[in-house]
Amino acid sequence: MYSSLRKIDFVAQAPDGRRHLVQTDHRSPGEIDEEPELSTLFALARIIVPQRSEHVSSAAGRAAVVRYVALGGIHPVIARVVASTGAELEVDRDAVDLADVATSAPADLADDAFAGLGRRVLERHGLTATEDGLAAFEKRIDGTPTEDEDETGYWTAVAELAAVTGEVIRQTIGGRWIDDAHAYADIPFLFRAGVGEDLSVNAVGKAVKFLAHGESESPRHLLRALEDRGTPAGPLLIGLKPSRWGARDEMVCEPMVDLRHPEGTDVPIIVYGNDHPNTFAMFKRGESIRDLAAMRTEALANLAGIEIEVEKVELETLRFWLGHGNYFAAEKVLDVGFMQRMHALIGELLAVAVPEKGRLFMTSAVADADRIAGFLALARGVFERNEGGRQLSPTVFLVSEGKIVGVAQPEDSVRASDDVDPLSGKKKHKRLLN
């Protein structure tokens, strides 16, 4: 499978003790001729990603090598990618000598391939490298099969959407594709926007999110982020991210709350940054030498000035209050003054959840076990649905006097979402232990 970008076809042990990370390509040279840009990008991904994987070392202490097996025969496009990435090429069970093959930096190969693919796709659809052209192409690929349904079709759509996004940015402010040193993207390259600027966007990752979540993850949002270049920094604020957020080791962050949680409790993390008109510019480690406690104090003071809407929701067996209407709505769980006002509205002890970005769920924790179980199920149901890719945490926190003081947990190991319908709140379940 030449389009399996997230896996290694198989791992073999060579006689010299090295691991061979084997990637196979069944296509004929004629088939590769029909899609040279995609062939380049897929081959780059299928070689570079394994080279960065945990399989690169072996028990013998010798580095593993990626071996690209061209079952359909040698093609110059593939030979150049293999040679440029330091991999091995095999045809008809024999290694191919690549000493005379011209090589280039992988990022240069990717830049040429993405540019050619973007132009080809836009021409095929009669579109221009503009925001309107990008929006129109998004509509054309709406309904793309999932990776499980059609692996080749799915990754083709990802590559084409990323390529079109890159060309729109290139035409708008300039830029080019560069190496993805932090392994953010499945096709391991980022688009560095502008000329002489250190601003990179993950167009591949955005394409993946768009196919999963639609309009809320449109690559056009990257254009809005680029508009914030050079704008004055807004107020220091906090943002919530999932506990397993991939960039947590690179950003200034800390746990949302430091309590003695039961083992396995999923607690979001806080990131710090400045608000801008279209984006929240997070601080990278090393960019800020300020004390975290001082940053938190200032950010929470600024958070207090943000207003959100609160509405009461009545279901058949569940009553809760929903905070929404602002990007930082979920973060208001840490605004003590706001939560104290919610005590006056809802009750002295609150059960509060932040299952997704932009929404805050609240109810009275002094309620019968069935209602609390329903709220617990609601939180997990919203979290697992992950609508729009906004997932944060399934945990329900207990709030007293405006502050988080604990978590609510099911009495047994059965997930509440398995036993209570998350939308209607109807009980299928047992009891809850607070």
Strands of the sheet with 10-13, listed across from one edge: 10-13, 19-25, 65-70, 88-91, 94-95
Three-state DSSP class for 328? coil
**Domain boundary assignment for the chain:** 10-103, 107-227, 232-434
Tokens describing residue 241:
């991210």
CA 226 to chain CA mean position, Å: 19
The H or E element containing residue 310 is strand 309-314
Contact criterion met (CB below 8 Å) for 136 and 127:
yes
Residue 328 has pLDDT above 90, yes or no: yes
The tens digit of pLDDT for each residue in 87-106 reads 999 998 889 999 999 999 99
Closest CA to 352 of 329, 368, 370: 329
Return the ∠ at Cα 245 (arms to 232 and 271), rounded to 5°.
35
Contact criterion met (CB below 8 Å) for 41 and 34:
no
The DSSP secondary structure of 48-60, one letter per residue, reads HHHHTSGGGS-TT
| Look-up of token digits 């920094």 | 233
Q: What is the value of pTM for the model shown?
A: 0.76
The DSSP secondary structure of 242-268, one letter per residue, reads -TT-TTTTTB-EEES----PPTT----
Read off the pLDDT band of 422 (50, 70, 90): very low
The tens digit of pLDDT for each residue in 111-166 reads 999 999 999 999 999 999 999 999 999 999 989 999 999 999 999 999 999 999 99
The tens digit of pLDDT for each residue in 152-202 reads 999 999 999 999 999 999 999 999 999 998 888 999 999 999 887 778 999
How distant, in Å, are the alpha carbons of 6, 9, 24, 100 from that of 86? 20, 18, 16, 13
